[in-house]
Chain A
Amino acid sequence: MASLRGVAIIGAGMASVSVTSGKTLAQLFVDAATKAIEDSGVGRIDSIYVGNMLSGFLQNQEHLGALMATALQREGVPTYKIEGACASGAVAMNAGIKAVLSGLEDIVLVGGVEKMSGYSTSEVTEGLMMAEDRIRVASTGVTFVGLNAMIAREYMRKYDVRHEMIAEFPVLCHANALDNPYAQFHKKISVQDVLASPLVADPLRLYDCAGIGDGAAVIILAPLERVHEFTESSIEVLASIVATDSLSLYQREDITSFQASKTASRLAYERAHIKSEDVDVLEVHDAFSMLGIMALEDLGFAEKGSGVRMVVDGECARDGKLPTNTFGGLKARGHPVGATGLYQIAELVLQLSNRSGKCQVPNANIGLSQSVGGIGGTVALHVLKRCD
């Protein structure tokens, strides 16, 4: 692998996550892409990768590659639409990185976009269930909240962890999002608020769950050897890993852990030549409170059953040992599903380049993002490093 050229991130842009912007898919994408292109200073773009999950189901719109190339007035470039459920954006990032690694393309635009507002909860819930086995699982009427609730119930039983401890995760995320101008929610919440919110799928309650939102995030990639043409400081991609597990929970023996997260993190640390303790800032896929805690364990930061301790003890706070979800995570920044993986990466870019405003954490050199598709059937990890 040593002969491969390095890949760098030279620009990032985000649209605000919201349900009230009224923007179309293309408008959301152009908003984020324009900011990323301006941030990078590039002129020519060699290719466009678009991560998205629900446009075909919700908007009756496919062919997003050409749609976005047209909206950006970049007709002529090759484009690719990538789908990996809620990890679509991070999987698109992996594809874009491989394009640069191949040497066939230099300046690559990778974007994620999702529009979820304007539909009933039942419609969005049905759309998200497309990430599961239609015949064996979706046929039961289970929802993604329900699948995660079954994990949470078993996790709490197996490790004797109480809901109020898991509820610390959304509390942390809401506190962090207060300083993020792009966040969907600017509202401080308490553990009591989580436990008093309505049940969605027992035992998970409303504030255990990320909401429905529209958004787009875009990254510009370039070969490391060409970075100096565009910027003085950049972010190097040390590892980009996509791993899979069996699609459905019933096919697994232990449902309190995502094997794909474990596999991906082992490969990511190996390829990046780092250990988990070298990570300075972390973004995990907390679509549900339980998943935030499980990620801390599956990625190697805590023993099984003890992830909650990191949050309760303040280790995951922005001034803690391992600042986590520093812009609010999926719970409070928002979770426009196909865009989420790229929001995480864009936020790491801001952290590593010391441009995070009030969200900035000190001494951030290495960042890790974890994006989960479905119920852990797909996991995409990225390890990024500041290079001065």
Chain B
Amino acid sequence: MILSNLELNGVLCPKCHWKAFRQTETCLRCGNSVDQTVFRGLGKIHTYTVIRYPPCGFEDESPYVVALIDLDEGPRIIGRIQSTHRSIDAGATVRLVGKRGDAFDFAIE
């Protein structure tokens, strides 16, 4: 899978190794200044739901799965899980496969 234009930008603290999927200039754990980093886009589903009553603009897509994903590097992210014949469950390995607007799409590996 080619991840062109698909970057999960986050921060990494060189001192205490705190990593986060958020924009900040200082480490929220130790106060050191942080470096920019890019996460690989591989992770595991922490928890998920199936949206059956969507907000405006998403009506044509429902039902769809949204999950909290623990990236292999540590940080947690929220994203859509693309529909698949594979069963979805907490702990399943997922990979970043796309982006729609500001939202990240993952697929079960």
Q: Mark A83-122, 1 if CB is under 8 A from B, else 0.
A: 0000000000000000000000000000000000000111
- The reply to whether the CB of A291 lies closer than 8 angstroms to some CB of chain B is no
A149 CA to B56 CA in the complex, in Å? Answer: 19
Assuming the contacts A154-B47, A154-B90, A201-B51, asked whether A140 and B56 have C-beta atoms less than 8 A apart, the reply is no
Contact partner of A129 (CB less than 8 A), chosen from B55, B77, B103, is: B55
A200 CA to B20 CA in the complex, in Å? Answer: 31
Are the C-beta atoms of B55 and A199 separated by less than 8 Å? no
Nearest CB of B to A377, in Å? 14
Are the C-beta atoms of B49 and A202 separated by less than 8 Å? yes
Are the C-beta atoms of A141 and B66 separated by less than 8 Å? yes
Are the C-beta atoms of A125 and B78 separated by less than 8 Å? no
- The reply to whether the CB of B46 lies closer than 8 angstroms to some CB of chain A is yes
Contact partner of A150 (CB less than 8 A), chosen from B47, B59, B101, B104, is: B47
Assuming the contacts A122-B54, A139-B102, A141-B66, asked whether A146 and B49 have C-beta atoms less than 8 A apart, the reply is yes
A203 CA to B89 CA in the complex, in Å? Answer: 12
Contact partner of B68 (CB less than 8 A), chosen from A129, A150, A202, is: A150
Residues of A within 8 Å of B, CB-based: how many? 38
Q: Mark A47-71, 1 if CB is under 8 A from B, else 0.
A: 0000000000000000000000000
Q: Mark B3-24, 1 if CB is under 8 A from A, else 0.
A: 0000000000000000011100
Nearest CB of B to A205, in Å? 10
A364 CA to B106 CA in the complex, in Å? Answer: 52
A157 CA to B59 CA in the complex, in Å? Answer: 30
Contact partner of A201 (CB less than 8 A), chosen from B22, B46, B53, B57, is: B53
Residues of B within 8 Å of A, CB-based: how many? 33
Nearest CB of B to A48, in Å? 32
Query: In the assembled complex, which residues on chain A have CB atoms less than 8 Å from the CB atom of B78?
Result: 136-137, 140, 142, 248-250
> Which positions 195-242 of chain A face chain B at CB distance < 8 Å?
198-204
- The reply to whether the CB of A267 lies closer than 8 angstroms to some CB of chain B is no
- The reply to whether the CB of B48 lies closer than 8 angstroms to some CB of chain A is yes
Query: In the assembled complex, which residues on chain B have CB atoms less than 8 Å from the CB atom of A126?
Result: 55-57
Q: Which residue of B lies closest to A138 (CB)?
A: B55
Q: Which residue of B lies closest to A122 (CB)?
A: B56
A122 CA to B60 CA in the complex, in Å? Answer: 12
Q: Which residue of A lies closest to B58 (CB)?
A: A141
Are the C-beta atoms of A157 and B55 separated by less than 8 Å? no
* Total inter-chain residue pairs, C-beta < 8 Å: 102
Q: Mark A25-46, 1 if CB is under 8 A from B, else 0.
A: 0000000000000000000000
A219 CA to B77 CA in the complex, in Å? Answer: 41
Are the C-beta atoms of B47 and A199 separated by less than 8 Å? no
Are the C-beta atoms of A200 and B53 separated by less than 8 Å? yes
- The reply to whether the CB of B41 lies closer than 8 angstroms to some CB of chain A is no
Query: In the assembled complex, which residues on chain A have CB atoms less than 8 Å from the CB atom of B51?
Result: 141-143, 146, 201
Nearest CB of B to A260, in Å? 16
Q: Which residue of B lies closest to A157 (CB)?
A: B90
Are the C-beta atoms of B56 and A153 separated by less than 8 Å? no
Are the C-beta atoms of A150 and B67 separated by less than 8 Å? yes
- The reply to whether the CB of A166 lies closer than 8 angstroms to some CB of chain B is no
- The reply to whether the CB of A363 lies closer than 8 angstroms to some CB of chain B is no
Are the C-beta atoms of B49 and A250 separated by less than 8 Å? no
- The reply to whether the CB of A251 lies closer than 8 angstroms to some CB of chain B is yes
Assuming the contacts A141-B64, A255-B68, asked whether A125 and B47 have C-beta atoms less than 8 A apart, the reply is no
Query: In the assembled complex, which residues on chain B have CB atoms less than 8 Å from the CB atom of A250?
Result: 21, 68, 76-78
A78 CA to B97 CA in the complex, in Å? Answer: 53
Are the C-beta atoms of A135 and B56 separated by less than 8 Å? no
Are the C-beta atoms of B50 and A199 separated by less than 8 Å? yes
> Which positions 118-172 of chain A face chain B at CB distance < 8 Å?
120-123, 125-126, 129, 135-143, 145-147, 149-151, 153-154, 157
A65 CA to B90 CA in the complex, in Å? Answer: 47
Query: In the assembled complex, which residues on chain B have CB atoms less than 8 Å from the CB atom of A135?
Result: 102
- The reply to whether the CB of B79 lies closer than 8 angstroms to some CB of chain A is yes
Question: Which of B22, B53, B59, B67 counts the most chain A CB atoms within 10 A?
Answer: B53
A135 CA to B23 CA in the complex, in Å? Answer: 12
Are the C-beta atoms of A143 and B90 separated by less than 8 Å? no
Q: A126-B57, A250-B78 are in contact. List 7 more A-B contacts (CB 8 A).
A: A121-B53, A122-B53, A143-B51, A145-B49, A147-B49, A154-B46, A157-B90
Q: Which 6 A-B pairs have the closest CB atoms?
A: A126-B55, A149-B49, A139-B102, A139-B103, A141-B58, A154-B47
